[in-house]
Amino acid sequence: MVSSPHAAPHAAPHAAPSRWRRGEGLRALLWLSPWIAGVSIFFVYPLLSTVYFSFYRYDMTSTPEFIGLDNYAYLLHDPRVAMSAKNTLWLVAIMVPATVLFSLALAQLVVRLKAGVGVLRTIFYLPSLVPLAAGTITFVFLMNPATGPWNKFLALFGIHGPDWFGDPAWSKPSLTLLSLWSCGQLAVIFMAALLDVPRHLYEAAAIDGAGAWRQFRSVTLPTIAPVLMFALVTNVIYALQYFTQAMIASRVASGATDSPGSTFTPGYPDESLLTLPQWLFQSGFRDWTMGYACVLALLLFATSMIFTLILLRQFRRAEEAI
């Protein structure tokens, strides 16, 4: 059967766009390939491996032994998980809002000043440049009730300072003070956001009779809302992964040493500074129960995702209400 001479001209226009779309798709994949490779190697593969080993008894030296859901069942009866989760949620509920609000207040103060702005910005930012380990050790020594200057300073005003890092009731508030001291980087971010608020909006609000609080609530907050959301999400994730400061503060305050035969269990005093990342580290790299540590890692990952989704949902609702 002989095909019609008019068939080819009608088919050609449809074939060319299809080839063009395939070429564009291949070029897009080529440009995305570094990102795809990075996510696959450093996120997808570790996540799948964590899920896999969570069903095994594994100490990194012997062959993994499949035990099903035993690691997950032990999670429900592990008293350290309940204590570490409680401490971690305390940091999320108390330390994160305090740090964000304090940083925003510092930024407002610096933005409103007419002179010495550069000096104050530098002073507020300098603590964030101090390494975490050095800053935490210094803070513990400064707040030592016997030899530190902080309680001596409070005594000048007739205030009897507590045993900051040695009292379970004051250990987490002490870490919060450390977080406030080193919040300069977040304060600088808020400064940039506040300086980006259009001046004419404040002028219009002032003409309508709005006071300082009304201007802040109706002009400043809606304008810097994306930056505020960024600060909340990143600080919540940071609090859920809180490890270095709590570990070092516990170790220094307890007087633990690295001498042979000495042991140290995170959480001093009385497990008040034990966080989920610390218990994960203890389970995986001290007790060598790597399968159970994988379950703790998945718990931490799921908690971070839940908090992030809740914050994003609340942010969208707030945007719709404005």
**For residue 56, what are the β-bridge partners?**
66
Tokens describing residue 58:
């594994």
How many whole angstroms from its chain centre is CA 77? 27
Distance CA(245)–CA(134), nearest Å, equals 10
Distance CA(56)–CA(67), nearest Å, equals 5
CB 242 within 8 A of CB 277: yes
Distance CA(162)–CA(165), nearest Å, equals 9
Q: How far is CA 223 from CA 177, 193, 216, in A?
A: 29, 8, 10
**Residue 190: its pLDDT value, please?**
94
Angle at 144 between CA 252 and CA 253, to 5 degrees: 20
Closest CA to 172 of 277, 272, 292: 272
Please name the residues in contact with 180: beta carbons below 8 A apart, sequence gap of 6 or more: 98, 99, 102
Please name the residues in contact with 312: beta carbons below 8 A apart, sequence gap of 6 or more: 229, 233
- Residue burial 199-210, b: 16+ Cβ < 10 Å; e: rest: eeebeebeeeeb
* 211 φ/ψ angles, rounded to the nearest 5 degrees: -85, -170
**Residue 297: its pLDDT value, please?**
95
Distance CA(170)–CA(164), nearest Å, equals 5
**Residue 1: its pLDDT value, please?**
44
**For residue 57, what are the β-bridge partners?**
65
**Residue 247: its pLDDT value, please?**
93
pTM of the predicted structure, to 2 decimals: 0.85
Long-range contacts formed by 227-233: CB under 8 A, 24+ apart: 227/189, 227/190, 227/193, 228/100, 228/104, 228/193, 229/311, 229/312, 229/315, 230/189, 231/100, 231/103, 231/186, 231/189, 231/190, 232/96, 232/100, 232/311, 233/308, 233/311, 233/312
Q: Per-residue pLDDT tens, the chain, 322 aa: give them.
A: 444 445 445 545 555 567 767 778 888 888 989 999 999 999 999 999 999 999 999 988 889 999 999 999 999 999 999 999 999 999 999 999 999 999 999 999 988 887 777 888 888 889 989 999 999 999 999 999 888 899 999 999 998 889 999 999 999 999 999 999 999 999 999 999 999 999 888 889 888 888 888 999 889 998 999 999 999 999 999 999 999 999 999 999 888 766 555 667 788 999 999 999 999 999 999 889 999 999 999 999 999 999 999 988 888 887 776 6
Please name the residues in contact with 314: beta carbons below 8 A apart, sequence gap of 6 or more: none
DSSP summary character for residue 123: H
Residue 6, SS3?
Answer: coil
Q: How far is CA 58 from CA 67, 73, 111, 271, in A?
A: 10, 16, 55, 26
**Residue 230: its pLDDT value, please?**
92
Residue 220, SS3?
Answer: helix
**Helix, strand, coil percentages for the chain (3-state, nearest 5):** 75, 0, 25
